[in-house]
Amino acid sequence: MATTAQQSPQPVGGKRKGKSQFLPAKRARRGDAGGPRQLEPGLQGILITCNMNERKCVEEAYSLLNEYGDDLYGPEKFIDKDQQPSGSEGEDDDAEAALKKEVGDIKASTEKRLRRFQSVESGANNVVFIRTLGIEPEKLVHHILQDMYKTKKKKTRVILRMLPISGTCKAFLEDMKKYAETFLEPWFKAPNKGTFQIVYKSRNNSHMNREEVIKELAGIVGSLNSENKVDLTNPEYTVVVEIIKAVCCLSVLKDYVLFRKYNLQEVVKSAKDSQPHTKLGNGKEAKLEPDSKLNESDPPEGKNSQHVAPESSELLGQTEPGSETQAGSEGGAKPEPESQASEVPKTNENELS
């Protein structure tokens, strides 16, 4: 039995429609949680580097963050749609007011579906950004690393480093200066003080100058309190600057050297292997900061500053091949050449930029 082939209807005149008439539909948002889809200013979260497999990295990150997030903040709570407020029950004769009410209900519904952790596009290969909501990323990540450091139990395969990001801004020098003046106050503004270093890393960005960024940020730290000193061996605070495309990620971390630059693969190694990286210049071991001191709403007091750099220290910088730049400054002096920089403990971490 012969079958007739179905032919697509031809438009009048025999002309075929142009390709512009067959554009694919826009890709739906990732998941139904709403919120931003890519890294942008105004976010808090966790920047994670991985070993080639980003999808597996996201899965490991969700598992690890939910495990320790439940431990610190309790299980994540969800609200069913039936329990969401529906507004007034009476009929609204005003069409404009009814429309505004409907838009408000949609926004409220979206906000209630926001997850505690949500992956967004980072803008760089082998880098994952997990947006956080309602938690302190620096406290959570420090808790994870502290537990792994003590137990020496490896819990990830593809995750390399896990850096908490306390704030993001536009990656332009003037925007960064304005943002950092307020951002750095809880740690470095008098009467608070401490030893510090600056760690700089740039990805997919060619308009930012490393020396200028280091000089300006170090100058801001010095202007907040003249007693803030440089210590590239085992600083009390590490100012992390991560630039991806046009977004600058900032954070101030503790135990950066002790936790092997927040590398989850290195922090679980035996004490014998990690010993060279946890020693100070005078042979004393670096001390672990408890989680109770990492609450951002409770800035550290000046009396906690125990490490003071030599008075002769000026702006110090060092570039490690395939890694980030470490630098610190007293008063924001110009960086010295690499040959004059102080040595920084190196790790054998396998980080992919």
CB 263 within 8 A of CB 351: yes
Provide the 10 A C-beta neighbour count for residue 173: 15
How far is it, in rounded angstroms, from Cα 330 to Cα 328? 7
Give residue 326's pLDDT: 60
DSSP class of residue 251 equals E
Give residue 285's pLDDT: 53
E-strand stretches of the chain: 45-50, 117-120, 127-132, 159-165, 167-170, 195-203, 229-230, 237-244, 247-253, 316-319, 325-328
Give residue 43's pLDDT: 94
User: By three-state DSSP, how is residue 244 classified?
Assistant: strand
Q: Decide: pTM greater than 0.85.
A: no
How far is it, in rounded angstroms, from Cα 198 to Cα 76? 35
Walk along the chain (353 residues) and give the pLDDT tens digit of each residue.
Answer: 454 555 555 555 555 655 555 555 444 444 444 567 899 999 999 999 998 899 999 999 999 999 999 999 988 876 444 444 444 444 445 777 777 777 766 665 555 457 899 999 999 999 999 999 989 999 999 999 999 999 999 999 999 999 999 999 999 999 999 999 999 999 999 999 999 999 999 999 999 999 999 999 999 999 999 999 999 999 999 999 999 999 999 999 999 999 999 999 999 997 666 554 444 444 455 556 555 555 544 444 444 433 333 333 333 444 443 445 565 544 444 444 443 333 444 444 444 43
How far is it, in rounded angstroms, from Cα 142 to Cα 128? 18
The residues near 78 (Cβ < 8 Å, ≥ 6 apart) are 113
φ/ψ (deg, to 5) at 218: -65, -35
DSSP class of residue 24 equals P
Query: Sign of the C-alpha dihedral, residues 50, 51, 57, 63?
Result: negative
Give residue 20's pLDDT: 52
Angle between helices 54-73 and 137-151 (to 10 degrees): 100
Tokens 């999808």 identify what position? Answer: 55
What are the tokens at 210? 């490393």
How far is it, in rounded angstroms, from Cα 57 to Cα 126? 9
Give residue 242's pLDDT: 97
φ/ψ (deg, to 5) at 325: -95, 135
CB 329 within 8 A of CB 219: yes
The residues near 253 (Cβ < 8 Å, ≥ 6 apart) are 138, 142, 163, 164, 237, 238, 240, 262
Q: What angle do CA 326, 331, 337 make, to 5 degrees?
A: 45
Nearest CA-CA partner of 243 in 268, 222, 217: 217
Amino acid type, 85:
P
Give residue 221's pLDDT: 96
CB 340 within 8 A of CB 329: no
How far is it, in rounded angstroms, from Cα 293 to Cα 308? 20
Query: Sign of the C-alpha dihedral, residues 285, 287, 288, 294?
Result: negative
